[in-house]
Amino acid sequence: MTSRFRLGFMLRIPTVAADCPNGPREVFRDALALAVSAEALGFDSLWVTQHHFGAVDSSLPSPFVFLAAVASRTTKIRLGTTVVTAPLEHPIRLAEDAATLDVLSEGRVEVGLGTTSSALELAAFGVSADMQRESLHATARAVADAFNGRGWAGLPAAVIHPQTCGLATRMWLATATKAHATFAGDHGFGLITNFRPSSLSEENRGYIDAHAEASRQAGVAPRLALSRGVFPTTDRATARRILMPHAARFIERGQAAGWLPPSFGIDDYFSREDFHYGHPDDVAASLSTDQSLSHATDLLTGMLSARLSPRELMPAMEHIAARVAPALGWRPRAT
């Protein structure tokens, strides 16, 4: 029996205090151990997100470097970025790093590109917020050209090395706007999203359908990766107790940075539409009501809004792979 979708796990790399000299080593050691465990549990893919300067309490400025370390410890699990902040990157360097990782991992790379909501990141890299859409599209086109062996800026000899096969067909755009989604489909890129259509403005509500139609017009099968907050444990009360301090920290940071309104409270955190927690059977039932799941080629699970320890994450990962995802039609890959 084939699987309805590929199962991914989104790994968060926490920011540590600057005065904690051994902190980064411990954080990366733990993250690598979780990545190896994800493969052992049967997850199809592992995804990380690029952040600079500890943005949103997470820090991974060099995702391809980290994923190269994962590649050296694994053999099957696919290695993805849920996003690289493309407007802050030079297309040649981005393409070279991704291609090098793809060779080292024997073709396991999935390249997700997106933008940033961090004013600090934009200011530090000298990028205007108003130009992010244009920059994302230009960078995505240039990276795809590089993966396809085309010369840079009209220079036939300026072809990136190493060359790798098919990486342009494993590119994604992370977005919930119809304009970005249509662009992604037009160019054969997959779509990564953590929004439900019902939570969007009327202008953007049809973005999943727009991407699917544009993909078909481009002659490729639509690829949709749904990013969902998933934390199965013994029951909802236990999940709330574990997540409560993380919720408070998330809200404090979001309100201080301006991306959460002052009225946003603890109950709002736990009632978020893309957040599923509690007993594994309840989590599976909750996810089954997500209408977007029927269109998904990939389900990306994890808790990016919580700085959970490996001791807290491992049982959740085990529940996802053993009980939640199978109840939704996922089947582990053949060994």
User: What is the reported pTM?
Assistant: 0.94
pLDDT on residue 333? 79
Chain segment 237-260, per-residue pLDDT in tens: 999 999 999 889 888 888 887 778
* pLDDT grade for 183, boundaries at 50, 70 and 90: very high
8 Å CB contact between 82 and 192: yes
pLDDT (average), residues 139-161 = 88
Q: Which residues of 221-255 are buried (b: 16+ CB within 10 A; e: fewer)?
A: ebbbbbbbbbbbbeeeeebbebbeebbeebbeebe
Residue 273 has pLDDT above 60, yes or no: yes
Q: Which residues contact 106 (CB under 8 A, 6 or more apart)?
A: none
pLDDT on residue 202? 76
Residue 20 has pLDDT above 70, yes or no: no
Phi/psi for 60 (5° steps) reads -150, 80
Burial (Cβ within 10 Å: 0-12, 13-18, ≥19) of residue 65: exposed
Domain residue spans in the chain?
A: 6-239+275-327
Instruction: Give Dmax (Cα) for the chain.
Output: 61
Q: Helix, strand, coil % (nearest 5) of the chain?
A: 50, 15, 35
**In the structure encoding, which two tokens stand for residue 31, read together?**
């993250």
Chain segment 86-109, per-residue pLDDT in tens: 999 999 999 999 999 999 999 999
pLDDT on residue 62? 96
> What does CATH list as the number for 6-239+275-327?
3.20.20.30
